[in-house]
C-alpha cells in the first residue's frame, strides 16, 4: 500500500484529465469500503495526527485574475513553481495533508483542474492545471476576523487586464524584457526555540521583531513597484543560512533583517544599522570558493563551479564589492529615516560579520530597531504605535534607496526614466501622490481630459525639481 501511495505521489505531475477521472472513481470506491481503506490507498487523502491539514480550497475569478484560498488548520511553509507544455502551477505545502480537495469549474478562471498527492512522505503537493499561461503570486494570511490560517495563490494573465493582448514594456536597460516588481526579503530575527534577547519586563526579541516585520510587509505590499517576501512568517526556528537561501530562492533584490539589540548596561538605547564587514566578506568568500564545485552557487548570474580558482575569486570579489557598496547606500538611507522615530545610536553604518548578511549578490542590512534591554525602549517596542513608526521609517528608507538604485528591468527603474505603467487598482491621485506631483500636472503632461485611466496605459511622470 505504501509503495502504491508513493507511486501516485511521484506521478501526480504527469496525470491527464482521464487519470483524474479514474482517481475520482477510485476515491468513490474507497469511500464505499470505508474511510480507513481510502486513507491507505489514496495519497491525496493521507493525513497523520500532528500535521497541518488543508481543510478546503476556494476559487474565484475576476477581470483576468484567479484567486485560490487554501483554508488551513495552522501555519505552514510553502513554495511554488510553474511548468509548461501543458501549463501548470505546482504548490508544495510542507508538513501538510488533506482529506479531499476539489475546486468548482469556473469558465473564466485560469484553472481547469486540480490534483494533489503526498510528497516525501510528509508534504502535500498540489498541481493546478491551467487553461493558459499565468503568472502566480502567493502569500499567507494569519487568523483574523474569525478566519483561520490561509494560503492565497493569485494567478494573473500575462500582459495585464482582461481582453488585452500581452503587452511588453521595454526598458532602456534590458530591451524586450517584461518589467517586474522589486522583491524585498524581510527577515524577522530569531524565532521558535531561539527567543533572542529578553527585556527586563520579559519581552522576547523574536516577538517584537516579527510584529515590526509584518507591519513593514503590509507597507511594502501597498507600495507600487515593490513586493515583499517574509523569510519567517511565524514563531519557529530558522538557521541563519536558511534565511539567506529563502531570500535567494525568491530572487530577492534586497535583504533586510530586523532585530532588537541588548547590552549589559540598561541605560544604552537607540537604533543602528549593520552591513557585512570586510572580515566577514573574506570568510564568506573562502567558504563559497571551497564549496563551489558541490553547491554550484550563482554570483550575479554566473556559475562558479566551472571556473578556476583565480577567476572564481575575481568574480566573487567583484560581486561582493558591489553588493557591500549597495548595502552601505541602503544602510545610509535607513539611518536617515530612523532618526525621525527615536534616538539613533550611531549615525554611521556599522560593520560586522553577521551570517545573515553574507549573500554576495543581494544587498543586505541588519537593523537593530532599539535596545530591548533598556526598560523605556522595551515598553515602546511592545506598543503598536512604535512598531508602526519603525516600519514606516524603514519603508521610507527603502523608497529612498530604490528611487536611485532600482534594478534594471523593474517598474521602479522605468519610473526613474519618467514613465509609469498603470496596474490594476491604481488611481490617478494615488500615482500623483507616489511621485509627489499634483494630479493637474499629471493630466497636463499626458493630455488627459479626466482622471480615467486604464490598466496597461503608460503615463509620463513630470520630473521633480528636488
CA within 13 Å, CB half, 263: 14
The Cα–Cα gap between 157 and 423 comes to: 13
The Cα–Cα gap between 79 and 126 comes to: 11
Closest CA to 257 of 225, 212, 320: 212
Provide the mean pLDDT of the chain.
75
* pLDDT at residue 69 tops 70: yes
Cα–Cα separations (whole angstroms), residue 59 to 110, 121, 128: 10, 27, 12
Helices (H) and strands (E) in the chain, counts: 12, 19
Tell me, yes or no, if the two domains 182-405 and 418-460 fold the same way.
Answer: no
Rg (CA), the chain: 24
* 245-259, 281-295, 362-376: least confidently modelled range: 281-295
For the chain, domain boundaries:
2-157, 182-405, 418-460
Beta-carbon count within 10 A of 315 CB: 17
The Cα–Cα gap between 171 and 59 comes to: 35
Q: What DSSP element (H or E) covers 255?
A: strand 254-261
* Largest pairwise CA distance in the chain: 75
Closest CA to 349 of 293, 274, 237: 274
* pLDDT at residue 83 tops 70: yes
**Percentage with pLDDT > 70 across the chain:** 71
In this structure, whether the domain defined by 418-460 belongs to CATH 3.40.50.300 is answered with: no
The Cα–Cα gap between 362 and 322 comes to: 10
Mean pLDDT of 224-251: 88
* 206-220, 244-258, 382-396, 413-427: least confidently modelled range: 413-427
Contacts of 352 (CB under 8 A, 6+ apart): 274, 276, 277, 280, 366
Over residues 302-331, the pLDDT tens digits come to 454 555 555 555 444 555 566 777 888 888
Beta bridge partners of 27: none
Mean pLDDT of 347-354: 76
Tell me which architecture the domain covering 2-157 has in CATH: Sandwich (2.60)
* pLDDT at residue 436 tops 60: yes
* pLDDT at residue 56 tops 60: yes
Q: What DSSP element (H or E) covers 115?
A: strand 111-119
Cα–Cα separations (whole angstroms), residue 85 to 14, 82, 388: 11, 10, 46
Q: For 182-405, give the CATH class.
A: alpha beta
* 53-67, 81-95, 208-222: least confidently modelled range: 53-67
The structure's pTM equals 0.53
Give the model's pLDDT for residue 132.
87
Beta-carbon count within 10 A of 374 CB: 23
Give the model's pLDDT for residue 145.
55
pLDDT band at 159 (very low <50, low <70, confident <90, very high): very low
Amino acid at each position: 500500500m505504501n509503495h502504491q501511495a508513493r507511486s501516485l505521489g511521484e506521478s501526480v505531475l504527469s496525470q491527464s484529465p482521464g487519470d483524474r477521472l479514474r482517481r475520482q472513481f477510485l476515491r468513490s470506491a474507497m469511500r464505499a469500503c470505508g474511510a480507513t481503506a481510502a486513507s491507505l490507498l489514496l495519497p491525496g487523502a493521507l493525513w497523520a495526527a500532528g500535521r497541518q491539514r488543508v481543510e478546503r480550497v476556494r476559487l474565484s475569478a475576476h477581470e483576468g485574475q484567479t484567486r485560490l484560498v487554501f483554508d488551513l488548520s495552522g501555519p505552514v511553509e510553502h513554495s511554488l513553481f510553474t511548468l509548461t507544455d501543458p501549463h501548470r502551477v505546482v504548490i508544495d505545502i510542507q508538513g501538510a495533508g488533506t482529506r479531499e480537495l476539489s475546486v468548482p469549474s469556473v469558465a473564466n478562471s485560469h484553472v481547469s483542474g486540480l490534483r494533489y498527492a503526498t510528497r516525501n512522505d510528509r508534504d502535500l503537493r498540489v498541481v493546478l492545471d491551467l487553461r493558459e499561461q499565468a503568472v502566480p503570486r502567493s502569500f499567507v494570511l494569519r487568523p483574523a476576523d474569525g478566519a483561520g490560517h490561509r494560503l492565497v495563490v493569485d494567478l494573473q494573465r500575462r500582459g495585464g487586464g482582461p481582453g488585452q493582448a500581452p503587452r511588453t514594456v521595454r526598458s532602456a536597460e534590458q530591451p524586450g524584457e517584461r518589467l517586474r516588481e522589486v522583491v524585498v526579503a524581510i527577515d524577522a530575527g530569531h524565532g521558535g526555540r531561539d527567543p533572542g534577547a529578553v527585556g527586563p519586563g520579559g519581552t522576547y526579541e523574536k516577538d517584537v521583531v516579527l510584529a515590526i516585520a509584518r507591519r513593514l510587509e503590509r507597507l511594502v505590499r501597498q507600495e507600487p513597484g515593490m513586493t515583499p517576501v517574509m523569510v519567517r512568517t511565524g514563531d519557529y526556528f530558522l538557521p541563519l543560512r536558511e534565511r539567506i537561501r529563502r531570500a535567494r530562492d525568491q530572487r530577492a533584490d534586497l535583504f533586510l533583517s530586523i532585530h532588537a539589540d541588548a547590552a549589559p548596561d540598561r541605560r544604552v538605547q537607540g537604533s543602528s544599522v549593520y552591513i557585512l564587514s570586510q572580515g566577514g566578506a573574506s570568510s564568506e568568500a573562502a567558504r563559497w570558493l571551497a564549496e563551489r564545485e558541490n553547491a554550484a552557487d550563482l554570483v550575479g548570474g554566473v556559475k562558479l563551479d566551472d571556473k578556476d580558482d583565480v577567476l572564481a575569486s575575481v568574480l566573487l570579489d567583484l560581486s561582493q564589492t558591489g553588493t557591500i557598496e549597495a548595502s552601505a547606500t541602503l544602510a545610509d538611507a535607513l539611518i536617515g529615516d530612523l532618526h525621525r522615530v527615536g534616538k539613533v545610536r550611531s549615525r554611521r553604518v556599522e560593520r560586522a560579520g553577521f551570517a545573515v548578511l553574507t549573500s554576495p549578490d543581494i544587498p543586505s542590512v541588519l537593523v537593530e530597531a532599539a535596545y530591548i534591554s533598556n526598560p523605556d525602549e522595551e515598553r515602546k517596542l511592545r506598543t503598536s504605535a512604535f512598531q508602526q513608526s519603525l516600519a514606516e521609517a524603514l519603508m521610507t528608507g527603502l523608497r529612498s534607496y530604490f528611487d536611485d538604485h532600482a534594478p534594471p528591468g523593474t517598474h521602479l527603474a522605468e519610473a526613474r526614466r519618467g514613465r509609469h505603467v498603470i496596474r490594476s487598482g491604481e488611481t490617478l491621485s494615488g500615482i500623483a501622490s507616489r511621485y509627489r506631483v499634483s494630479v493637474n500636472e499629471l493630466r497636463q503632461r499626458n493630455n488627459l481630459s479626466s482622471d480615467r485611466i486604464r490598466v496597461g496605459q503608460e503615463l509620463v511622470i513630470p520630473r521633480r525639481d528636488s
